[in-house]
């Protein structure tokens, strides 16, 4: 049987180039984002939370980086990838081993003889089809992806700590507003009870004030409950027991970093999750090469040398030495389509990785546009809310004066107080949303920028 055509076909299949990822087939970032005008990239900073100028936030982030379990898990996966890379690199090197043994054998009618042996063995696989090289390259790209995913895990935890902390500070400010309203209703109730005893107001007016006071007390307790939830969530992010973690209420004085006027879309390319997806795509490309290399024969050089003797002291003498050298070749002739299926599976995985990269890129671009658009609108909303708070405060002041002088009904005073409370809380929520959107933008861009004050 003439096997020449078969070997020729196998060599042609094995020589097919794996190629590289074509950048033209990947999604491209626009020159700038819709919500900004490009005027040069601002300098980047890895400690993106420092422009918030809050020592408590700085401390919380540092504690999270030291003990967060998600970051530790990502670091463990990176260590595993590095070990796999070491194994792949070792496969491309000669393998040397030592052996030693002792045995006793006897023929019929003869006395048994003990034989001792010792030697060295060497094996080296000739990487004809590049399988070992592609495996090594894929493992190296896996390490890159894990390094980038570790960076992404750190960024995500940092952003979640900042968001949780800022939400907690906003909630403390809202609690102060509600508790101040409760105190104001208490004063109104005392005045109403005094006028009721004098017969100046009806029992209905007294009941209304008591109802408003109780409703606001219940709202204050709901905010207290929400604070407990935020505090325990922060404890988990910091890798600390919730029972031991306490963040005392204080005045919310965290600075709000300003977003530079121009944010070129190149900033998006430093997102670690996008970089990881790109590395995973290239690793899938390398594994197509691994699958195609299965069409090549496996060739291995082997060599061994040592000695065999009935006396241990004779093993190293020239008369006891043995040696051998060989070439092992293996090539499946018929495998039922297994190698072709392996190539098709690797190609399908490559297609899936390309789709995943494109989806990740589009979602990242959406995140940036969402946060930029939110920041632009929130600034206008904050200005409108400030005007509403000012007007509501003036209306309450006038209504309170007129009520104390008996010029307006109690309903007007209660309505004015409700309006002021609602507007104050709404303004605070807008301010909180600005902080959350700023952190969201930093997360979407893969980090902050220098000079954000």
Q: What pLDDT, in 10s, does the model give residues 185-196?
A: 888 888 888 888
Answer whether residue 20 shows pLDDT above 90: no
- pLDDT for 99 equals 79
Between 363 and 28, the higher pLDDT residue: 363
Task: Tell me the domains of the chain and their CATH numbers.
Answer: 32-93+114-251+265-331+345-449 (1.20.1600.10)
- pLDDT for 192 equals 82
For residue 400, name the pLDDT band (cuts at 50, 70, 90). Answer: confident
- pLDDT for 261 equals 61
- pLDDT for 436 equals 95
- pLDDT for 8 equals 40
Answer whether residue 141 shows pLDDT above 70: yes
Q: What pLDDT, in 10s, does the model give residues 50-91?
A: 999 999 999 999 999 999 999 999 999 999 999 999 999 988
- pLDDT for 78 equals 95
Answer whether residue 10 shows pLDDT above 70: no
Instruction: Return mean pLDDT, the chain.
Output: 83
Answer whether residue 247 shows pLDDT above 60: yes
Answer whether residue 43 shows pLDDT above 80: no
- pLDDT for 251 equals 87
Lowest mean pLDDT among 77-81, 92-96, 157-161, 387-391: 92-96
For residue 146, name the pLDDT band (cuts at 50, 70, 90). Answer: very high
Percent of the chain with pLDDT over 90: 43
Q: What pLDDT, in 10s, does the model give residues 413-445?
A: 888 888 999 999 999 999 999 999 999 999 988
Lowest mean pLDDT among 10-24, 27-41, 171-185, 213-227: 10-24
Most confidently modeled of 30-44, 161-175, 298-312, 315-329?
Answer: 161-175
Between 80 and 39, the higher pLDDT residue: 80
- pLDDT for 26 equals 63
- pLDDT for 45 equals 60
Compute the average pLDDT of residues 357-372. 89
Between 373 and 17, the higher pLDDT residue: 373
Answer whether residue 319 shows pLDDT above 60: no
Q: What pLDDT, in 10s, does the model give residues 252-294?
A: 989 998 877 666 566 677 789 999 999 999 999 999 998 998 8
Compute the average pLDDT of residues 102-114. 66
- pLDDT for 242 equals 93
Compute the average pLDDT of residues 394-402. 90
Lowest mean pLDDT among 128-132, 156-160, 229-233: 128-132
pTM metric for this prediction? 0.82
Lowest mean pLDDT among 151-155, 168-172, 265-269: 265-269
Q: Rounded to whole angstroms, how far apart are CA atoms 386 and 423?
A: 8
- pLDDT for 341 equals 92
Compute the average pLDDT of residues 36-41. 42
């Amino acid at each position: 049987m003439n096997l020449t055509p078969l070997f020729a076909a196998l060599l042609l299949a094995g020589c097919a180039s794996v190629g590289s990822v074509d950048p033209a087939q990947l999604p491209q970032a626009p020159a700038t984002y819709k919500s900004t005008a490009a005027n040069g990239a601002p300098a980047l900073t890895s400690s993106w939370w420092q422009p918030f100028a809050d020592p408590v936030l700085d401390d919380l982030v540092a504690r999270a980086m030291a003990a967060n379990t998600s970051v530790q898990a990502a670091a463990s996966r990176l260590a595993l990838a590095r070990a796999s890379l070491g194994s792949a690199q070792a496969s491309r090197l000669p393998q040397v081993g030592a052996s030693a043994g002792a045995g006793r054998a006897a023929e019929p009618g003869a006395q048994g003889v003990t034989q001792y042996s010792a030697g060295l063995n060497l094996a080296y696989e000739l990487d004809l089809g590049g399988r070992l090289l592609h495996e090594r390259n894929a493992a190296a790209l896996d390490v890159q992806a894990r390094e980038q995913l570790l960076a992404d895990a750190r960024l995500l935890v940092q952003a979640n700590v900042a968001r949780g902390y800022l939400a907690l500070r906003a909630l403390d400010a809202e609690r102060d507003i509600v508790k101040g309203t409760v105190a104001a209703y208490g004063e109104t109730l005392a005045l109403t009870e005094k006028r009721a005893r004098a017969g100046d107001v009806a029992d209905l007016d007294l009941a209304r004030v008591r109802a408003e006071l109780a409703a606001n007390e219940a709202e204050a307790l709901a905010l207290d409950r929400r604070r407990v939830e935020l505090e325990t969530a922060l404890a988990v992010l910091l890798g600390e027991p919730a029972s031991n973690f306490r963040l005392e209420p204080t005045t919310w004085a965290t600075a709000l970093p300003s977003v530079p006027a121009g944010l070129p879309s190149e900033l998006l390319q430093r997102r670690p999750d996008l970089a990881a997806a790109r590395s995973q795509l290239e690793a899938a490309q390398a594994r197509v090469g691994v699958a195609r290399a299965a069409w090549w024969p496996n060739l291995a050089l082997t060599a061994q040398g040592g000695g065999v003797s009935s006396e241990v002291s004779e093993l190293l003498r020239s008369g006891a030495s043995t040696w051998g050298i060989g070439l092992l070749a293996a090539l499946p002739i018929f495998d039922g389509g297994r190698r072709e299926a392996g190539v098709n599976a690797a190609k399908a995985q490559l297609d899936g990785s390309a789709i995943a990269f494109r989806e990740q890129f589009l979602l990242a671009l959406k995140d940036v546009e969402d946060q930029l658009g939110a920041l632009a609108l929130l600034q206008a909303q904050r200005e409108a809310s400030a005007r509403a708070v000012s007007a509501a405060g003036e209306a309450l002041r006038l209504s309170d004066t007129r009520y104390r002088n008996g010029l307006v009904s109690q309903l007007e005073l209660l309505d004015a107080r409700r309006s002021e409370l609602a507007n104050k809380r709404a303004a605070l929520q807008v301010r909180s949303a600005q902080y959350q959107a700023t952190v969201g933008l930093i997360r979407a861009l893969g980090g902050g920028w220098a000079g954000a004050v």
